[in-house]
A and B are shown apart, each in its own frame.
Chain A
Amino acid sequence: MTSSYYESTARARIAGLLDANSFHEWLPAAERVTSPHLATLEQPAAFDDGVVVGKGSIAGKKIFIAAQEGGFMGGAVGEVHGAKIVGMLERAVRDQPAAVLLLLETGGVRLQEANAGLIAVSEVMRAILSARAAGVPVIVAIGGQYGCFGGMGIAARCATAIIISEEGRLGLSGPEVIETARGVEEYDSRDRALVWRTVGGKHRYLLGECDTIVPDSMEAFRNAIIASIENGDDWSLQALEREQQLLGDRLQRFGDCRDSRDIWRKLGWPDPDAIAMMDNDEFVAAAQKRCAKQTIKAP
């Protein structure tokens, strides 16, 4: 088994992050709860519908967890897939685990399931907020090959904290979608350097959208998850107002930037092109003073 989070399957991630032998799966593949919509379209199904949900422990703390499998339809959310995540989150409201972990790897709604998929994603968002309102922090990890896009990108931002790796990507419309809609002149999805500096982990971290950035290893993700659980969840009006201010401030400062490098320059990075090659520790140290969150004046 590889130590890379990026290269692992959903099940390998659960095995690599949680305490050994602590995981218990709900609706495992053996129960074969598959998508009725894909069957209608004569498309291949996955016996877990591309998501693994269950309970376990991490550093001894009881948690609930959902892990999306990018290898099945790019982690796209269908009706069953979404319902499994929602059911797990609703159970968290009742059973009060120390946290819910969402290992997201998804292109968003499963297009074949149309409205059922759209509704599923909105139900996930509501369930995340319900869990937080009930005092259960929801921690998102993003570091898989397919990134976290579409409605699930919004769902991720509803969570308590996001942990991302440099390889991870977070956004609304994916690169190919933007290119198709706006033309290659606007966004060349094959220019992978452009893609990563727009939606990649480092940029999301600098914009203040992700709380922690880690190197691509199971151990680094695990440690960051443990730390996030300990940080708890600040769900106060004050915290929400701070977030609001950050977003307003960001729009004002960077609204006219054409490229993320322009933003980085405004954030005080003397050589934005050097950011891409920095290793994680070096980047995090340098980012302490050059991150959008730093631009907010204390209230």
Chain B
Amino acid sequence: MIYPAEKIWDHDRQRRNRKLERAASAMGGTLRDKVVSSEMAVQLLESVIEPGDRVCLEGNNQKQADFLAQALTRVDPAKVNKLHMLQSVLALPEHLDLYESGIAEQVDFSFSGPQGGRLARMVGKGQIRIGAIHTYLELFSRYFIDLTPHVALVAAQSADAQGNLYTGPNTEDTPAIIEATAFKNGIVIAQVNEMVDKVPRVDIPGDWVNFVIPSPRPHYIEPLFTRDPAQISEIQVLMAMMAIKGIYAGYGVQRLNHGIGFDTAAIELLLPTYAESLGLKGKICSHWALNPHPAMIPAIEAGFVKSIHSFGSELGMENYIAARPDVFFTGPDGTMRSNRAFSQAAGHYACDMFIGSTLQIDMEGNSSTATLDRISGFGGASNMGADAAGRRHASPGWLKAGEQRRIHNPGIPRGRKLVVQMVETFREHMHPAFVPRLDAWKLAEFANMPIPPVMIYGDDVTHILTEEGIANLLLCANAEEREQAIRGVAGYTEMGLGRDLRMVENLRDRGVIQRAEDLGIDKRDATRDLLAARSVKDLVRASGGLYQPPVRFRNW
């Protein structure tokens, strides 16, 4: 056997070491241990980022490495350019400014939130190249396969001089990003809100971190999961009643994930009232993969909830979470430890149900939040809202759903995750939620995507719930029945009006479609008085004063 002579196996490590040497000389005497002053941030980035590098910039729905994002827009494009950005969420204007100056040219991401409109325009003009749009788990996974970052720019609450990081309750994506970067010859730079002698707990060990920069101001956190109960409508209360009686009770759903809309907030606020009156305490909703929604406080206080693992935290919930360690995952310091990657995996594999809202549903049951003028991406719903084909452990709800599916699709016994899409037949501005063709098709054409961006595929959806009733798609014999079941709960939308009346009545007789009255629900009982909290203040009261809402949610 012939061995190649002097084959070099540590190119990447040598490259990292050269970058670190450049950084040390650029920082000169200003570098203390791993601490770089904020004035030197741009020089640091210029010395460790090379043209064409893959750079992961942390930022999700909540925590943002916003200072580092701004610093990156200020590097000299002659020195740093053509970067390939990796980001969970394109949230800040700076994230897109990078492409206008040529500092970056390609992005792989998961969700674009408020920048969705500008992103679509920039794609249209050819200013930015999108590698792919992912789910969170998918993107994190690629960090360990073919999109490993050369440099990761992350955010933490505090650090010590050795680079140990404390992320506080918003750990979120940090561990996944750093794990992939630090162990594959990458460089990790953290912006921190404060420097301390000793961090309250070590969320990231210091030897995985190369530099820490005390940020001139605390990183931005968006309170994205606070839903003011005052804005929940009586239609939403009715839909929540149908969900609880028709689905949660029917399948004995104990382990679940909720979307973030007002529809599911209504369910959360009906647990201690309506669900309790049906004798469901202890029988449903005990274990959750969920952000710490303030709307969960009454259900937690009423003893419904045994455990919640969270993707991230929520502003104002810190003291409440710290005082409920039986429910939330907390560190020895008392504050919550969140982790998006683990919670997403938990939501996919360990939950029996996902329920959430959407913008459009077609007649196959495919649903999408894409509109023509916005590229919004996927986030986490696609993983939560998909049957976990790799799941092997059984639970009563999972088995029951599997049995229902096998009525018309015989095969070896296996379970099925419940995936529920909950929508009012008309959205705001009278846009119908049920459409013949998703806007996603047009967006795919416009943005040159290989496939239409579908949030949840029709074959993953088990139930569609509207104010008109519940369509159980598991019980449909064929595609034609499926379509009529969907039309049967589509109300006065064009799709609903186009239903085959006889077939829909037949589906109702078979329990494939269940209306409120079929479930024994009197619509007149659907009042806001059923909500365990009707205002943010009621939530504060329910928490015993521990929940401290951001001022924008107050009316007192």
Contacts and interface: CB of A to CB of B under 8 A. Distances in A.
Interface in A159-173: 166-167
Interface centre among A7, A190, A200 (most CB of B within 10 A): A7
Contact of A2 (B529, B535, B540, B545): B529
A192 B528 contact: no
A196 B553 CA distance: 11
A197 to B, nearest CB: 8
Contacts of A42: none
Contacts of A2: 527-529
A191 B552 contact: yes
Contact of B527 (A1, A196, A276, A279): A1
Contacts of A194: 551
Given A191-B551, A194-B551, A167 B529 contact: no
B478 interface: no
Contact of A276 (B529, B552, B553, B556): B556
A192 B545 contact: no
A3 B552 contact: no
B555 interface: yes
Interface string A200-222: 10100000000000000000000
Contacts of B545: 277
Nearest to A197: B556
Contact count band on B: 10 to 19
Given A166-B556, A196-B556, A276-B556, A7 B551 contact: no
B554 interface: yes
B554 to A, nearest CB: 4
Nearest to B234: A2
A191 B553 CA distance: 9
A7 B555 contact: no
B374 interface: no
B554 A196 contact: yes
Interface of B: 230, 527-529, 534-535, 537, 540-541, 545, 551-556
Given A166-B556, A167-B556, A4 B551 contact: no
A286 to B, nearest CB: 16
A193 interface: yes
Interface centre among A192, A202, A276 (most CB of B within 10 A): A192
A3 B529 contact: yes
A7 B552 contact: no
Contacts of B552: 190-192
Nearest to A278: B556
A192 B555 contact: yes
A190 B552 CA distance: 6
23 contacts: A1-B527, A2-B527, A2-B529, A4-B528, A4-B534, A7-B230, A7-B528, A7-B534, A167-B535, A167-B555, A167-B556, A190-B552, A191-B551, A192-B553, A193-B551, A193-B556, A194-B551, A196-B556, A202-B556, A276-B556, A277-B540, A277-B556, A279-B541
Given A2-B529, A166-B556, A200-B555, 18 more contacts: A1-B527, A2-B527, A2-B528, A4-B528, A4-B529, A4-B534, A7-B230, A7-B534, A191-B552, A192-B551, A192-B553, A193-B551, A193-B554, A194-B551, A196-B556, A276-B556, A277-B541, A277-B556
